[in-house]
Structure 1
């Protein structure tokens, strides 16, 4: 899954409008929309602000550890709400994987 796809999926899970995110990060909706679609070159600080607005954190994952990270994220997501993976009092920050491939 590409980074822009992950942003879109996380935005949908959080049920946040572009206007809500734009208000938090101080971006006009058309500019934010372009960033979320992967248009143009975006600064790391902008991505960090968007991630923060989505209650997430973006990280670089070395390719040799990518499968392990995906597995951990998918396992946690699969357990959410079932009681087996009840959220701890101090949950770890959510992550967004960054892939180097282009669509």
Structure 2
């Protein structure tokens, strides 16, 4: 699952509107919406602020460790790809996984 999809799933689970998150991070709704859709180049500090507003921490996980991390988090459902997190499981841990399939 892409990072932006994980942000959207966590935002939906937390039931936070774009306006609510925008108020917490000091961003206008159109700008926040663009960030959450993966438009443009977003600074790490902006992502940190959004994660904080979602009561989460973003975490960089090496690809070779993704499956083990997901098992530890209890989110590796049968048949799921090792680099995905089920939307129903996003709220259990307080982390957001960031991974890349690029080598």
Equivalences, count = 87
Deviation at 1:99, TM superposition (A): 2.5
Residues 16-36 of structure 1: CA deviation (Å, up to 9, x unaligned) = 000000000000000000000
1:23 corresponds to: 23
Poorly superposed stretches of 4+, deviation over 3 Å: none
- How far apart are the structure 2 equivalents of 1:45 and 1:51? 10
Pairing 1:56-71 to 2, within 5 Å after superposition: 56-71=56-71
| Length-normalised TM-score, structure 1 | 0.77
1:14 corresponds to: 14
Partner-residue secondary structure (3-state), 1:68: helix
- How far apart are the structure 1 equivalents of 2:34 and 2:101? 18
For structure 1, list consecutive stretches of 5 or more residues without a partner in the other structure. 81-92
Partner-residue secondary structure (3-state), 2:39: coil
Deviation at 1:101, TM superposition (A): 5.2
- How far apart are the structure 1 equivalents of 2:28 and 2:43? 16
- How far apart are the structure 2 equivalents of 1:61 and 1:51? 16
For structure 2, list consecutive stretches of 5 or more residues without a partner in the other structure. 77-88
Structure of higher CA gyration radius: 1
